[in-house]
Amino acid sequence: MMNTRQLNFVWVVLMLATLATYAIGEVGEQLGIVGPLAMAALLVISFVKGRLVALDFMGLRGVKFFWRGLLIGWLLLVSALIALAYWIALQ
């Protein structure tokens, strides 16, 4: 079940993750985070964020695996398709 401290912690993590996404766009080149590495980092960050929203904000953490699986499966499928399209573009 949700509690205040957990919700606040998730919000902080989501804010930091958003900052990381924005930073990759702004200073990724200076840090050498470009191309496939940047793509992978962005997908991992959005997966972590999406998973937290599904589990803690939507309250699916204590729910039957089927429901968590559907949402996390959606995130994985969308990420995989984006990565595949990115890889095709590199060819």
Partner 1 sequence: MKNATDTTHSGPTVAPPGDLAIWFFILAELLAFGVFFAAYAFGRAHNVALFNEMQQTLDRQAGAFNTVLLITGSWCVARAVEAVERSRSATGARWLAAGILCGGGFLVVKGFEYAAKFGAGINLSTNTFYMFYLSLTFFHFMHVILGMVILVALWWKTRQGVYGPGNMNGIESGAAYWHMVDLVWIVLFPLVYVMR
Per CB under 8 A, residues contacting partner 1 are 1-4, 7-8, 10-11, 14-15, 18, 21-22, 24-26, 38-39, 42-43, 45-46, 49-50, 53-54, 56-60, 62-64, 67, 70-71, 74-75, 77-79, 81-82, 84-86, 88-89
* Interhelix angle 35-52/4-27, nearest 10 degrees: 160
Nearer to partner 1, 31 or 67 (CB): 67
Q: Which two tokens stand for residue 60?
A: 């699916």
Q: Which residues contact 28 (CB under 8 A, 6 or more apart)?
A: 34, 38
Kindly state the smallest distance separating residue 76's Cβ from partner 1, in Å.
11
Does residue 20 contact residue 26 with C-beta atoms inside 8 Å? no
Kindly state the smallest distance separating residue 7's Cβ from partner 1, in Å.
5
Kindly state the smallest distance separating residue 69's Cβ from partner 1, in Å.
12
- Give the integer Cα–Cα distance in Å for 19 and 14: 9
